[in-house]
Structure 1
């Protein structure tokens, strides 16, 4: 006697894994094209060839570039080794505020990061992206962006309530927030 629900679940899991693999393959193919790299340079103004190469390896095209803005929020969500549903909802709400639609590739990239922790390459790309963006801003605008990112990270951390209850920021989340803010301040200083 076979366990039909279990078999159906494994078929569904396999189907979605294959679908995800095809989507990732398509993203990488699109991002790796010269046209896509040129669009990244145009849309960001970033002329750092290493950053453009890393973005291409990550499958990031100009349309998905906005996702890098969410790396700090995603890392805070993953600070305790999992991104829970409340944290994901807060990040999705922030993405929707910036105009990222659920049917867009950018949403798919963000969803992937919320399901699986972003690779170190993504963090390195975020650092260089942040440096490139902050270097073009006035000191006042850079400080406002850093402050906004801090508020968003705290909102994500408070969404799950930490270990001790609603609205608390855990030690790991606080450490991650401090680390990311330090990186942003250092990038602003170098700009």
Structure 2
């Protein structure tokens, strides 16, 4: 039963870009595993090398970067988002962020080596990788435009609506930084 749910979930995520064939889905699921994370559990610590691709099924994940002893919220992943934070195949390097699940979450994970083996057999997997990377780039561009074009109260309200599951869990400092405003300005306008 769970395998069928994972199959349907993965198929729906990939079908946003192009309908995947059943053999590809089966190959991915055969090498994948479902993992549940508790609130505040860490997926990746800064300095570690990430060796898997993670699809968020339920919950949220956040990227926290530490700069001068202060943590900054860099990214938020929601259900159906793919966490691609792997080291480059050209240069192995450690992560510059901690990736944490602020609330209980469920993921579908696959090791990069297994995914590369599948990619040798199913070259269409490259298409999906390109789409996920383009999606991440578009999300970043939209975030930058959103920060530039909306006022503080509107950004706070939209953030609260889009991320209600974590709004009262993460600190005001993290929210203010993500929304590109000072803590004082955030607290005045929330």
Q: Which has the higher helix share?
A: 1
Q: TM-score, normalised by structure 2?
A: 0.30
Q: TM-score, normalised by structure 1?
A: 0.30
Q: Which has the higher strand share?
A: 2
